Chain A
Amino acid sequence: MIDQSPYGTWVGREALDMAFSLAAFDQAVSILFTDTGVNWLRAFQQPNDIAQKSVAKNLSAAPIFGVEALYADAAACRRYGLTLDNMIEGVVMCESSSELLHQFAHAAFAG
C-alpha cells in the first residue's frame, strides 16, 4: 500500500521495491494507492527539475514484474482531481479499500 505522495519521501519507492520483490518470488501482489499516494498515478509527471526519476515510469514496469493490479482509492482520486483520463494507463478504481483488503492475506506499508 502506498499512502504518501511521490518525491517528498522515499517510502513509496521502497514500497514499490517490496511489491516487485514479491512478484519476482512468485507471490501474488497488487498495489493499492490511497490518500495522497494516488498522486503516484498522475499522468505526465515532470520530476526532472528536482533531479528525480518519474515514479510513473517506475510503475510502468509493474506488469512486467508480474504485479497483478494497480488499484486507486476512488475517494482519494476525487479529492485530488484524478480521473482515469488524467492517470497513467492500467489503473483500476476501487470504491471500497476495506472490501478490497479482505481479498488479501497480507497488507504492507514501507513506512
Chain B
Amino acid sequence: MAATSLQNYTLVITGAPYSSQAPQTALLFARAAIAAGHTVDRVFLYGDGVHLASALCAPPSDETHWASEWAGFLKNNAIPGVACIASALRRGLVNEAERKRYELPASNLLEPFIIAGLGEWVEATVASSRVLYFHAGD
C-alpha cells in the first residue's frame, strides 16, 4: 500500500441534525481522520447545518445528542467550530452580541461554536488541503 500523505481538512456541514445524517457522518469522518494522523483545521456550519450549534436541542434521552457530541469533540481536539452568521441569523441561532444587536429575547449558541462570516469558509478553501461538504442529500 502506498504511503498516504497527511491532509488538513475543513469540514462544511450543511445538513441539520435530526433531519439529515450530515452532522453524524461528518463527526465519524472527523474522528477517523484524526485517528489516522490527519488534521481538521475547522468545521464550518452553513445553511441548515447551523442548527447543530444550538444550545437548545433536547432530543429524547435514548437518542444521540449530536450538538453535545460535536461540542465535546471540538473542545477535546481544540478545533474551531464556526457557524455562518447569515445562515444563523435567518434560522434563529444567535450569540450574545447578536442578541443585543437585534434586541432578541434570548441567545442560544452552544460553546465552543462561534458565529462568523463566510470569509472563514473562503479562507478555508485557500488554507486547507481538502474541503469536504456534508449535505442533507435530499
Q: Report A's interface with B, CB cutoff 8 A.
A: 10-11, 14, 17-18, 21-22, 24-25, 27, 106, 108-111
Q: Report B's interface with A, CB cutoff 8 A.
A: 12, 14-15, 46-48, 86-87, 90, 117-119, 121-123, 125-126, 131, 133, 135-136
The answer to whether B125 and A106 touch across the interface, beta carbons within 8 angstroms, is yes
Quick one: given A17-B86, A22-B125, A106-B125, are A111 and B14 in contact (CB under 8 Å)? yes
The answer to whether B122 and A22 touch across the interface, beta carbons within 8 angstroms, is yes
- Nearest first, the 10 closest Cβ-Cβ pairs linking A and B are A21-B118, A111-B14, A25-B122, A111-B47, A14-B47, A111-B135, A21-B122, A22-B122, A106-B125, A110-B47
Count the A-B residue pairs with Cβ separation under 8 angstroms: how many?
45
A111 contacts across to B, CB distance below 8 A: 14-15, 46-48, 135-136
A27 contacts across to B, CB distance below 8 A: 122, 125-126
